[in-house]
């Protein structure tokens, strides 16, 4: 994968990821184990896989879990990982906001036709093997073109071994269901002592109603 800029242009990416990994030890071991389980389930061949990490009620937990898994997939499996911020709303603590890329072209431009190539929008992090496709600037309608979305995920799978889709809460915006439907597996990021079981059940019901079964859960420890 040849990105459109070098990581030295934006040094805070790697610093954020490195700090996150250090601050979450030994929690990162769990994500490393998760990476191995994913390899066992989906195989170690060259075929790309897309995983959706679904926010339930805590943006920060969803972002940190996505970053931790990206780091662990590369560290354990020695593969390139693409993070994709698919959130239609740009406010909050999504991947693009965390990495200082709000307003940069990316996901929104690709699904609206304003941009035609992932390679021109992907930005590398300072962490080797981990790249980011920012959320971009959403069109006024906020609508997604199903065929363009399918084409984007397909191209991403062809360029990267693992594609991690950061998806907003389907409970607050059902448009995110369309994105989740493109993934090979969907993980809901739940927070201990915060996420309600009823919300997880509602997420599962919405996904099943749209043909996505087998919702998985990543449980994040309570913040202290």
Where are the domains positioned within the chain?
7-36+48-220
**CA-CA distance, 162 to 36, in Å (whole number)?**
13
**First-residue to last-residue Cα distance in the chain:** 39
Question: Mean pLDDT, to the nearest integer, of 77-87?
Answer: 93
pLDDT digits (tens, 9 = 90+) for 5-14: 333 344 444 4
Using DSSP bridges, classify how beta strands 130-133 and 123-124 pair: parallel, antiparallel or unpaired.
antiparallel
Instruction: Give the Å distances, CA to CA, from 149 to 40, 112, 214, 217.
Output: 27, 9, 22, 24
**Rounded Cα gap, residues 158 and 75, in angstroms:** 20
Q: Tell me which architecture the domain covering 7-36+48-220 has in CATH.
A: 3-Layer(aba) Sandwich (3.40)
How far is it, in rounded angstroms, from Cα 104 to Cα 109?
10
pLDDT given for residue 12 in this prediction: 43
pLDDT of residue 105: 86
Are the beta carbons of 155 and 184 closer than 8 angstroms? Answer: no
Residue 7's pLDDT is what? Answer: 35
Q: What integer best gives the mean pLDDT of the chain?
A: 83
What pLDDT, on a 0 to 100 scale, did the predictor assign at position 6? 36
Residue whose entry in the numeric block shows the structure tokens 């459109």 = 4
Element (H, E) at 132: strand 130-133
Q: Considering only 61-75, 96-110, 150-164, which range has the smallest mean pLDDT?
A: 96-110
Q: With contact defined as beta carbons under 8 Å apart, do 120 and 7 qualify? A: no
CA distance 41 to 103: 36
Strand order of the β-sheet with 162-167 is: 123-124, 130-133, 81-85, 162-167, 49-55, 185-191, 216-220
Listed in sequence order, the residues at least 6 apart from 134 whose beta carbon sits closer than 8 Å to its beta carbon are 85, 95, 96, 99, 101, 102, 104, 105, 106, 107, 121, 123
Check residue 69 and give its pLDDT. 93
pLDDT for 3 equals 41
Answer yes or no: is pLDDT of 4 > 80.
no
For 23, residues 6+ apart whose C-beta sits below 8 A from its C-beta are none
């Amino acid at each position: 994968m040849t990105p459109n800029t070098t990581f030295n242009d934006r040094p805070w990416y790697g610093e954020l990821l490195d700090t996150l990994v250090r601050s979450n030890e030994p929690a990162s071991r769990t994500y490393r184990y998760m990476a191995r389980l994913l390899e066992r389930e989906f195989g170690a061949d060259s075929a790309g896989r897309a995983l959706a990490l679904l926010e339930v009620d805590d943006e920060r937990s969803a972002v940190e879990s996505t970053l931790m898994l990206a780091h662990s997939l590369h560290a354990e499996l020695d593969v390139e990982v693409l993070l994709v911020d698919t959130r239609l709303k740009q406010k909050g603590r999504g991947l693009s906001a965390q990495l200082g890329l709000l307003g940069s072209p990316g996901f929104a431009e690709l699904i609206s036709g304003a941009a035609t190539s992932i390679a021109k929008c992907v930005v590398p992090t300072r962490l080797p093997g981990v790249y980011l496709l920012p959320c971009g600037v959403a069109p006024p309608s906020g609508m997604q073109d199903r065929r363009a979305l399918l084409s984007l995920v397909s191209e991403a799978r062809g360029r990267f071994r693992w594609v991690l889709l950061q998806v907003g809460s389907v409970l607050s915006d059902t448009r995110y269901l369309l994105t989740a439907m493109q993934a090979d597996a969907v993980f809901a990021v739940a927070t201990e002592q915060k996420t309600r079981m009823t919300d997880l059940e509602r997420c599962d019901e919405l996904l099943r109603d749209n043909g996505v079964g087998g919702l998985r859960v990543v449980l994040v420890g309570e913040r202290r």
